[in-house]
Structure 1
Amino acid sequence: MQPSVRDEKSWTVAGAKAKLSEVIERAQSEPQTITRNGKPSVVVVSAEEWHKKTVRKGSLAAFLMESPLRRADLDLGRQNDEPRDLPL
């Protein structure tokens, strides 16, 4: 059975509800898009794919230490200007 929209990876909300098991089965091999009012609304992916996309890759400290700007001669000093008067 074909999905209820344009291609084999896209479903309407009604089609996805009616064929949820098939949506889940197909999502194991490739992402499935569910549309609402003709526009992409959500994407269903396998748990394995979701884990790959959301696992943390290193720490912020490691990222900053590896930055090409680490040894750049940047002027990071603060300005000593007087504060502005803001309207109340």
Structure 2
Amino acid sequence: KPPYPYVELISYAINSHPSQKMALSEIYNWLLVHFPWFQTATSNWRNSVRHNLSLNKKFVRVPREAADGVGKGDLWTVE
């Protein structure tokens, strides 16, 4: 398991993106690529990511704009 709390992992993911914004699926993919533990873990970690995004005031939901590409759902950024 990664030695960082979910808040830090999510922050690392979002801050690594050139726009400093990511969709939930992009955050999942980033974690899977950078921390192989997630590839074999049960899917409960996805609930933890969503929980942290929703409840931690550090993360802000940003409406997706046409320039942000195709996809559904909002983007997330770090305040």
TM-score in same-fold range (> 0.5): no
Bigger helix fraction: 2
The higher-RCO structure (CA 8 Å, 6+ apart) is 2
TM-score, normalised by the number of residues in structure 2: 0.30
Q: Which has the larger radius of gyration?
A: 1
